[in-house]
Amino acid sequence: MSDAIKHECGLAFIRLRKPFSYYLQQYGTATYGLNKLYLLMEKQHNRGQDGAGIAAVKLHVEPGYPFLARLRSSAPQPIADIFSQIGKEVAELQKYQPDITQHPGLLKGHLPFLGELLLGHLRYGTQGKNNIEFCHPFIKRSTKTGQNLALAGNFN
């Protein structure tokens, strides 16, 4: 091994293969995937000193409804910042419908980050500025469902 030991960006990916109702019944929460993504990202916390971001892709969404969501942060505690924003969205939904967390289908329709594919990125800056524009995941949107892209990696 001739390469020097160095830090690089951290990545986390989750693919939920069962419906959200399964996770509600089995684990008591439809946000099981988001909880696991948080844990995976927190385990790599030292790699995300300069920022973090997540992307969520919803599968089997009716035409015209959003299926790709992204949230990035370059705050001093980026992981906590991202997941507190998602927590605020859930709390806001619960104000108007207190039992929404017990209805996974309804929650999926109203919570942008409740998706079957979850991608997390922790930025360890080696190049560029330390702001949100340099945080992954990068996304490429298209009007065609199959031509959208969420990309995260150890590159600039």
Is the torsion defined by CA of 12, 154, 60, 141 positive or negative? positive
Which tokens go with 70? 């992204």
Task: Give per-residue pLDDT as tens, 62-104.
Answer: 888 899 999 999 888 999 999 999 999 999 999 999 999 999 9
Is 120 in a helix, a strand, or coil?
Answer: strand
The C-alpha angle 78, 82, 127, rounded to 5 degrees, equals 40
Asked whether 43 and 81 are in contact (CB, 8 A), the reply is no
pLDDT in tens, 13-63: 999 999 999 999 999 999 999 999 999 999 987 766 788 999 999 999 988
Cα 43 from Cα 21, distance rounded (Å): 27
Q: Give domain limits for the chain.
A: 10-151
Query: What is the Cα–Cα distance from 139 to 141, expressed in whole angstroms?
Result: 6
- Report the percent of the chain where pLDDT is more than 70: 89
129 Cβ contact partners less than 8 Å away, ≥ 6 residues apart? none
How many other C-beta atoms are found inside a 10 Å radius of the C-beta of residue 77? 12
Write down the pTM of the prediction: 0.87
Contact between 25 and 6 under an 8 Å Cβ cutoff? The reply is: no
Q: What are phi and psi of 44, to 5 degrees?
A: -105, 25
